[in-house]
A and B are shown apart, each in its own frame.
Chain A
Amino acid sequence: MSDVLIACEGVEVVYGTRRQNLGLEPGGIKVLHGIDLEIRRGESVGIVGESGSGKSTLGRAILRLGDVAAGAIRFAGEDITRFSEARMRPLRRRMQMIFQDPMASLNPRHRIRRILAEPMLFHRVCAAGEAGARIKRLIDRVGLHEAALERYPHELSGGQRQRVGIARAVLLEPEFVVADEIVSGLDVSTQAQALNLLKGLCRDLGLAMAFIGHDLSVIRAVCDRVYVLQHGRVVESGNCNQVFAAPRADYTRALIDAIPLPEPDPHWLARESLPS
């Protein structure tokens, strides 16, 4: 078995193809123009881009949470591009997602215990009697108190909710997770905690991860490789060490140059980055 877990070949996604208004209105905006991408087992890959780059769309397409117009997505060698919902179901356990807005991604009507237990029981990850113990272990691992299990999502803080989101994804013991902009709303110290946690979990569980973000500095902290997206196309990809040391694409260079480091640099502001 090859160690490539996820492979995208020429993936295209078009929005608004659903025939609206009696089919009179021509719709369809292409947001992804043929993306090629590979993620190996246990590898953390960054997908970075500015707003409108299609990075979140790509993340959802990989998990088959959005329709793919053209191209192929392979999971562990199997072409899942046209899988029905029923055929996807057993695979769902193996590929999970952590969402950007933890408030919106947790059902406001369910207690945390139910949010965590239900997916495990549905996928029969373990015997019903064992679920409680597993949840307890993991909740401890992500740094939450057990009492949080009896709370509703709105009773937790933003950072705590994000940990619940991470725990939910990891409890299914997946091989792959998509983390979609999961630290963008957090303060730096909370962000560092979340990144630490995620990186540790990936290492301990041998998880492969697609880390979607807009901040190259954050990508640098957690990822081995990086794909840079612009207007729905991959403009550069490669090992982080190499990409950050010597970016080949102008756009990557511009993105890097635009990041202000917490270290006064009298020339930074004047340095022209993007020939716009």
Chain B
Amino acid sequence: MAEQVSSVAPISSDRARKVRRLIGRGRRFLSLDAKVAFGGLIILIGLALAIFAPLISPADPLEQDLMSATLPPIGFAGADPAHLLGTDDLGRDVLARLLYGGRVAFTVAFVAAGLAGLIGTVLGLVAGWYGRLADTIVSRLIDIWMAFPPVLLSILLVAVFGSGLHSVIAAIVIIDWTRFARVVRAETMAQAALDYVTAARAIGFPRLHVLLNEIVPNLWPVIVALLSLEAGIAVIVEAILSFVGLSVSSDTPTWGGMIASGRQILHQGWWVLAAPLAVLFVTVLAFNLFGEGMRRTLDPVMRR
């Protein structure tokens, strides 16, 4: 053991220490694992495409042209080079609609996941750390929430709130805070049973200090992973609601809305379904990969 101590190189000054710490941080940032890198890259690309949709879109997503309706994508007989991914039954450009649909999808993903995460995490922390009545209430609420089929509840909520982006986000937040609350509550309890928390109590730190400074830092990997998963789920829920015809107004292009119309004209233009479905598939997968990778990357012990 004495040898291990001496193998730790002595550091001369505070400045050298700071530099070293910065280098360490940079290296840690670069040594992202493959899942984080791959998932994150796809999310970033998707986000950029959505943000810059007005600049890069090949066409107006709403412009109908019944003369060039249900044109197949490039590479199939009868394709029009102006429509890379073909057109739908009203002659609207599929690629343009995908790009604009991404705006709704990513807005919903980030806002809904963030809010659900915030509410669920706070409630989970309170239930898991302060226990007693707070825990009883939150646990019962979670039980009741879990007894609703989430898709049915979201449809119901949007029906109540009226359609629109805000309703969709509100519905997702109201339904999915439980995902965070459940996990965070359990994880908080598990951490609270560890001796580093007892040590903090033995020092005399106030309860809130122990929660925020000792426990919460150890929950980050889980919370970040959940946030990423939730973003993927939100995209799906938005698509489901659009599919049922309850999401945002029908003249805003959404992936779910495209899927719904694609389902109608399955045999005339399969690409109208296939294109948004593929995008949905890749997006959800990316959020999953990113979340799973982040859980590992952020964990100081697992990262070794």
Residues of A within 8 A of B (CB): 60, 63, 65, 85, 88-93, 95-97, 99-101, 104-110, 118-119, 122-123, 143-148, 150-152, 154, 157, 159-160, 165, 168, 172, 190
**Complex partner residue of A123 from B5, B8, B204, B300, CB under 8 angstroms:** B204
Q: For B21, what are the chain A residues with a Cβ–Cβ distance below 8 Å?
A: 150
> Is there contact, CB below 8 Å, between A148 and B201?
no
> How distant is the Cα of A165 from the Cα of B207 in the complex, in angstroms?
21
> Is there contact, CB below 8 Å, between A106 and B1?
no
Residues of B within 8 A of A (CB): 1, 4-6, 8-11, 17, 20-21, 194-196, 198-207, 213-214, 217-218, 300-301, 304
* Contact A168 B199, CB 8 Å, known A109-B217, A159-B1: yes
> How distant is the Cα of A85 from the Cα of B206 in the complex, in angstroms?
8
Question: What are 20 contact pairs spanning A and B, CB under 8 A?
Answer: A85-B207, A90-B204, A91-B204, A97-B198, A99-B195, A104-B196, A106-B196, A107-B214, A107-B218, A109-B217, A119-B203, A122-B204, A123-B204, A143-B5, A145-B5, A145-B8, A148-B8, A150-B11, A157-B1, A172-B203
Most buried by A among B5, B200, B203, B304: B203
> How distant is the Cα of A150 from the Cα of B8 in the complex, in angstroms?
10
B31 to chain A, nearest CB (A): 16
> How distant is the Cα of A99 from the Cα of B201 in the complex, in angstroms?
13
| Known A96-B202, A190-B1; 16 more pairs at CB < 8 Å | A60-B198, A65-B202, A92-B203, A97-B202, A105-B195, A106-B199, A107-B196, A107-B200, A108-B300, A109-B217, A118-B213, A122-B204, A148-B8, A150-B11, A157-B1, A172-B203
Q: For B202, what are the chain A residues with a Cβ–Cβ distance below 8 Å?
A: 63, 65, 92, 95-97
Chain B: CB-nearest residue to A147: B8
B181 to chain A, nearest CB (A): 20
Q: For B11, what are the chain A residues with a Cβ–Cβ distance below 8 Å?
A: 146-147, 150
Chain A: CB-nearest residue to B304: A154
> Is there contact, CB below 8 Å, between B4 and A160?
yes
> Is there contact, CB below 8 Å, between A154 and B5?
no
A96 to chain B, nearest CB (A): 6
* Contact A101 B195, CB 8 Å, known A150-B21, A154-B304: yes
> Is there contact, CB below 8 Å, between A154 and B214?
no
Q: For B9, what are the chain A residues with a Cβ–Cβ distance below 8 Å?
A: 147
A197 to chain B, nearest CB (A): 13
Give me the 4 closest cross-chain CB pairs, A-B, nearest first: A92-B204, A105-B195, A109-B217, A147-B8
> Is there contact, CB below 8 Å, between B194 and A104?
yes
> How distant is the Cα of A150 from the Cα of B22 in the complex, in angstroms?
13
> How distant is the Cα of A275 from the Cα of B10 in the complex, in angstroms?
58
> Is there contact, CB below 8 Å, between B204 and A150?
no
> Is there contact, CB below 8 Å, between A154 and B301?
yes
> Is there contact, CB below 8 Å, between B10 and A99?
no
Chain B: CB-nearest residue to A113: B17
Chain A: CB-nearest residue to B17: A150
B180 to chain A, nearest CB (A): 20
B139 to chain A, nearest CB (A): 12
**Complex partner residue of A122 from B17, B194, B203, B217, CB under 8 angstroms:** B203
> How distant is the Cα of A249 from the Cα of B148 in the complex, in angstroms?
63
> Is there contact, CB below 8 Å, between A105 and B1?
no
**Complex partner residue of A145 from B6, B195, B213, CB under 8 angstroms:** B6
> How distant is the Cα of A95 from the Cα of B9 in the complex, in angstroms?
35
> How distant is the Cα of A106 from the Cα of B203 in the complex, in angstroms?
13
> How distant is the Cα of A148 from the Cα of B11 in the complex, in angstroms?
10
Q: For B205, what are the chain A residues with a Cβ–Cβ distance below 8 Å?
A: 119, 122
> Is there contact, CB below 8 Å, between B1 and A152?
no
> How distant is the Cα of A93 from the Cα of B204 in the complex, in angstroms?
7
> How distant is the Cα of A92 from the Cα of B200 in the complex, in angstroms?
10
